[in-house]
Amino acid sequence: MNTSDSSKKTILQKFNDALLLHRPWFKKTVKVIWILFLCIAIGFPLYILSVRYNMFGLYGEMPSLKAIENPENDLSSELISADGVSLGRYFRYNRSQVTYEQLSPELVNTLLLSEDRRFYKHSGMDFWSYVRVVWGLLTFDPAGGGSTITQQLAKNLYTLNPEMDGPIAKLGKYPRRIVQKTKEWIISVHLERNFTKEEIITMYLNTTEFSSNAYGIKVAAETYFNKQPDSLNIVESAVFVGMLQNPSAFNPNLHPDAAFKKRNEVLYKLYSYEYIDKSLYDSLKVTPIELKFAVQNQNQGLATYFRNVLRNDLIAWCKEHNYDLWDSGLKIYTTIDSRMQRYAEEAMTEHMTKLQAEFVKQWKLRNRNPWVDENTGGEVKNFLAKKIKRTETYKNLVSRYGTNSDSIEIMLNKKKKMTIFSWKGERDTLFSSMDSLAYYNKFLQSGMMSMDPTTGAVKAWVGGLNHKYFKFDHVKQSTRQPGSTFKPFVYGKAIEDGFSPCLELYDISPTIQVPGGTWTPYNADGTRGSGEKMTIRQAMARSLNSITAQMVDKVKPDNVVDFAKRLGIKTKLDAVPSICLGTSDVSLYDMVGAYCGFVNLGLAIEPYYITRIEDKNGNVIENFVPKTTLAINEATAYKMVYMLKGGVEESGGTSLGLSYDLKKDNEIGGKTGTTDNASDGWYIGVTHNLVTGVWVGGDERSIRFPSWDFGAGTKSARPIWDKYMLKVYRHPETGYKKGYFKRPSKMEGSLNCSDYVTADQDSTYVPDLEPVWKPN
């Protein structure tokens, strides 16, 4: 070997020594690297396939290809008024969808530049974002997450669902996260294949949570800014995009400083990518976040009581038709008119504010509480002590301390911070549970329903004062004694039997035989009557008990019950003489519906409040129509309208005090009602196209008005009807204007006494039951 060969060998040996290629451990390392490479190259795809097809059931189910192509998003069901206004939603997660066209360009651009600026260049996964994340970890300078918008959509739709977890997920947080991430990749690819980029953006914003029970950008925009998504500006858009990383931490209502800082980080990205210039950025970054925050729930908005009552009907309907009210995205179209609903709520608030103040004042002057003993007339003993035992607070304390523990009374009387309802708005105070119970039981309550007598459509429904603080509905759920508002059913039966509205009777209270003795009613003035002779129209107009009792004795109580049932009263009615004074409980809902039969010329029409239900795609699932029956003939019905008009037209009528503007160029009928014990005040008013009823009283029957006169329907309930109707007539766009009642097809001329008193009918009836009281 020559010198040059030897030299080359030496150089080669040195090179090999430098590369360590002759070392055994190096060869093993190379071998391991190759094995790892082959494992990754072959194993990773196999792993992806095993997750995709849930090999051996280890990873949990993947959504089907059909589900990926047609993702099901939890959707709240929406209640819509007759005039197209959203009344509220039924939801587990308050979520509603929008289309891409309903998103403002500022929102879309802010989202893409801040979260995924290569969105239109990748197919679901962004390689360069992963490189950025890895580099950030290696340099201890985290640069944000690597998930694309498509991956985040996949997470929203599927991978966070615990039902899709398999046994591996139960091994701990990290194994579960790895499997979830893998599923995100797989689903992202399928989403990109089956949807356009615009559809993916829209689905992502529709499925994202924005805290404060707002799911999806539509509800979020309404909750935080009282806007629709197409109206969001750059600043508002930056707030929402900033919330995507942590909705609770960057909630502008709960954490305004953190939200402000995060919003400005998003704005800086817009500036750095030259979407906005320096001057605009400098201006926007100091702009405060101006919220119009209002969490959507069942205690806010219009028709809160109606929505709550309707929910039970809808749950039953959904069960029958295999829908989930809470996330099927149903559209429920109602008969409620949002404008009339608002007028009804305003009218009740305006009157009840004043009535409540006077109610409290009058009881204070008497130095008493308003709960009155039926027998003694004094204050009910231990009223609050007995009532507190029916509350959840008391039951929880018993469970905690035991039945006879002194700690129960101590805790019930312990004062704590509390926000309470008042007619001047919510206020903070220090109240114990007993203080709170006493405070709320001194409130008068009210219910109101307005209905179109021709169509059966319920136009307004006010079940109480404030649904947040008083849950019980006083339209359909509550039943109370109707007092004199029940008298038209007595007179209606009499007219059906052939008696004339102009039949003349003496104002003398009869004494009627009843099981165990006799019954003699008194008029509101405490007497058995004046002895004056008058028509039964005048008697009903003045709401005289004496003549009503004479009529029930003539037509018999069981026939009155049948008459009322035919017109729509569904509660149990006792067939006793005192039924003529409204002693059997009824609901305001039934009473308003029954009066409609008079206005509707004898056609009884059941109140209805849903017109149709559509699925989330706008397909009509079911149409609803009112149920009608011919209850009484046209002539009887129209004569009863004439009787009801007597309250407005006859001397001493209980509706004479209605506003002149209501009575001018308009036909009105009405009936007041007040129970003997002064616990209930009623008014039902009728026009040619609206029948509206109002009830006022305490939640408990023992809660009374300070006097019978104070609680009379003319003062407690009629003013609400008056205010409501004035508001309706001032807004003719609702379609409800003044007018005249429908007349029977065979009736000609005007209705007056001479038309209906026949020659063979004695127009004067004096009760023949002894003892008969006669005036001096």
Amino acid 384: pLDDT: 94
Mean pLDDT per 10-residue interval, the chain, length 776 residues: 55 56 63 69 59 57 65 80 91 81 96 90 65 46 65 77 61 64 78 90 91 88 93 96 93 94 95 94 95 78 92 93 91 97 97 96 94 90 93 91 90 93 92 94 97 97 94 95 97 95 94 92 92 95 96 97 97 96 97 98 96 94 95 95 96 95 96 92 97 96 92 96 98 95 74 49 39 32
On whether the CB atoms of residues 389 and 477 are closer than 8 A, the answer is no
Amino acid 746: pLDDT: 76
Task: Provide the greatest CA pair distance for the chain.
Answer: 161
CB atoms within 10 A of CB 140: 6
Q: Following DSSP, what letter does each residue of 413-429 receive, concatenated?
A: T--EEEEE--TT--EEE
The H or E element spanning position 767 is none
CB atoms within 10 A of CB 41: 9
Rounded CA-CA distance 53/460 in Å is: 55
Rounded CA-CA distance 617/99 in Å is: 13
The amino acid at residue 265 is: E
> Dihedrals φ, ψ of 493, to 5°?
-65, -40
Amino acid 154: pLDDT: 84
Contacts of 541 (CB under 8 A, 6+ apart): 646, 647, 649, 650, 652, 653, 654, 655
Contacts of 349 (CB under 8 A, 6+ apart): 423
CB atoms within 10 A of CB 29: 12
* 445-483 tens-digit pLDDT: 999 999 999 999 999 999 999 998 999 999 999 999 999
How do 504-506 and 512-514 pair as beta strands? unpaired
* CA torsion through residues 714, 715, 716, 721, sign: positive
Amino acid 160: pLDDT: 56
> Dihedrals φ, ψ of 756, to 5°?
-120, 0
How do 77-80 and 86-90 pair as beta strands? antiparallel
Helix (H, G, I), strand (E, B), or coil: what is residue 747? coil
Amino acid 15: pLDDT: 52
Smallest CA-to-CA distance from 711 within 684, 675, 659 is with 675
What the block records as the tokens of 367 is: 């130095």
For 443, what's the count of Cα atoms within 13 Å in the CB-facing half-sphere? 19
* 214-264 tens-digit pLDDT: 889 998 999 999 999 999 999 999 999 999 989 999 999 999 999 999 999
Place of tokens 């817009």: 270
On whether the CB atoms of residues 744 and 635 are closer than 8 A, the answer is yes
Amino acid 152: pLDDT: 87
Rounded CA-CA distance 151/145 in Å is: 11
What the block records as the tokens of 594 is: 């029954």
What the block records as the tokens of 768 is: 């023949």
Contacts of 344 (CB under 8 A, 6+ apart): 448, 450, 460, 461, 462, 724
Alpha-carbon radius of gyration of the chain: 37
The H or E element spanning position 678 is none
What the block records as the tokens of 763 is: 């127009």
